């Protein structure tokens, strides 16, 4: 069933809209006091993510507060490797940690695609609960990490500043890395298809660390596997197209290649000029982005000015589609009032551009 407010979906399909839709990466998170209260009640991040009713609660919080044009499933990109049995935990001050990093030939050979319902049924149940509670107001976005981004955490055993272990494997044993990436791609495909069947109406693949790769390596070790996922997805469900967004932080160098991989939309970070990006892809896909999240630490006048600059940069919509977003996730120290100002300015100012 088509959402009451389907502006986001129409923008992804480059159809006519009355204004530029907006949602924000990490829109449900620690900058919101209501999120912190829910998380405290559950006791931990993982407990929150694995409770469908609580995941629904925090998914809806920013939609209710700000009037955003899409909700995004509250979960974590590391649910997939966790389901593979790698032992995910979150350590204060360190972030995610895997008890069983994948660093040996034996560990790579042991990897397999997990049973989605058995290991990740809490995610699909959260999707069903969220769709029911959203009551068709706005679309629900599902997501996963990209195969390469997941591999970075799986091989390093957690977060990394230089990805030395991953890159050592890439250059010395590319066959091992490609085995990991293939398993990840098949797992992510099954995971996203399960989300679609449960009710997500659009998808985003977060290639957070693809931009750390060298030219040539990005195409081989990241983009190739995102394309494999897109080729294997359910592209229509419940009579409606399910658009796909890919977002590679630091990926502006490969914009043309990303636009040709089969995705409906390419997300851009704040280093990319939207007008030039439109010309480079010739409006073949919609574009998402790309305000610097640090702008939200500025005063109201600066926030509104920078929002207008992004919208002006994209220019008249015409046959192109623009989804306003940040160039990466909201910083946890952001004042929620800054987000309210951003959303208000996007909705108000962009209507003028859509009249052109």
Q: Which residues participate in catalysis according to the annotation? A: 26, 30, 39, 76, 153
245 upstream amide cis, omega within 30 of 0: no
Can you tell me the distance from the alpha carbon of 195 to that of 124, in angstroms, rounded to the nearest whole number? 6
Whole-angstrom CA distances from 238 to 71, 144, 197, 241 are 19, 21, 9, 8
Please, are residues 261 and 217 in contact by the beta-carbon 8 Å criterion?
Answer: no
Beta sheet of 71-72, edge-to-edge order: 71-72, 140-145, 202-207, 244-248, 265-267, 286-291, 322-326
Dihedral pair phi/psi, residue 192, rounded to 5°: -70, -35
H or E element, residue 232? helix 224-232
Residues contacting residue 352 through CB under 8 Å, at least 6 positions apart:
none
Q: Tokens at residue 333, please?
A: 């120290």
Residue with tokens 């042991």: 110
- Report the half-sphere exposure of 68 (CA within 13 A, side-chain side): 28
Q: Tokens at residue 137, please?
A: 């107001």
Residues contacting residue 86 through CB under 8 Å, at least 6 positions apart:
98, 99, 100, 101, 102, 154
Burial (CB count within 10 angstroms: exposed 0-12, middle 13-18, buried 19+), residue 35: buried
Can you tell me the distance from the alpha carbon of 252 to that of 207, in angstroms, rounded to the nearest whole number? 12
């Amino acid at each position: 069933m088509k959402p009451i407010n389907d502006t986001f979906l129409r923008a992804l399909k480059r159809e006519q809209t009355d204004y530029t839709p907006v949602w924000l990466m990490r829109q449900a998170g620690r900058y919101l006091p209501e999120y912190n209260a829910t998380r405290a009640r559950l006791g931990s991040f993982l407990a929150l993510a694995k409770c469908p009713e609580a995941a629904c609660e925090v998914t809806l919080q920013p939609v209710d507060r700000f009037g955003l044009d899409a909700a995004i499933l509250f979960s974590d990109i590391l649910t997939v490797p966790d389901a593979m049995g790698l032992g995910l935990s979150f350590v204060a001050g360190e972030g995610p940690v895997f008890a069983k990093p994948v660093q040996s030939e034996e560990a790579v050979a042991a990897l397999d695609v997990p049973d989605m319902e058995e290991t990740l049924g809490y995610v699909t149940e959260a999707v069903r609960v969220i769709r029911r509670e959203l009551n068709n107001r706005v679309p629900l976005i599902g997501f996963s990490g990209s195969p390469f981004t997941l591999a970075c955490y799986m091989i390093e055993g957690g977060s990394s500043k230089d990805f030395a272990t991953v890159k050592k494997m890439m250059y010395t044993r590319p066959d091992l890395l490609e085995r990991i990436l293939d398993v990840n791609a098949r797992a992510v495909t099954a995971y996203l298809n399960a989300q679609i069947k449960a009710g997500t109406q659009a998808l985003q693949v977060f290639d957070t660390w693809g931009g750390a790769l060298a030219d040539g390596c990005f195409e081989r070790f990241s983009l190739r596997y995102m394309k494999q996922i897109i080729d294997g997805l359910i592209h229509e469900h419940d009579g409606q197209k399910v658009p796909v967004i890919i977002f590679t932080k630091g990926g502006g160098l490969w914009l043309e290649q990303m636009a040709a991989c089969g995705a409906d939309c390419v997300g851009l970070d704040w280093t990319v000029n939207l007008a030039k990006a439109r010309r480079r892809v010739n409006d073949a896909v919609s574009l998402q982005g790309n305000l610097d999240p640090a702008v939200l630490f500025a005063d109201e006048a600066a926030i509104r000015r920078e929002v207008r600059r992004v919208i002006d940069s994209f220019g008249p919509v015409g046959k192109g589609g623009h989804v306003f977003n940040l160039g990466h996730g909201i910083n946890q120290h952001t004042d929620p009032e800054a987000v309210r100002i951003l959303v208000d300015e996007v909705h108000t100012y962009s209507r003028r551009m859509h009249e052109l």
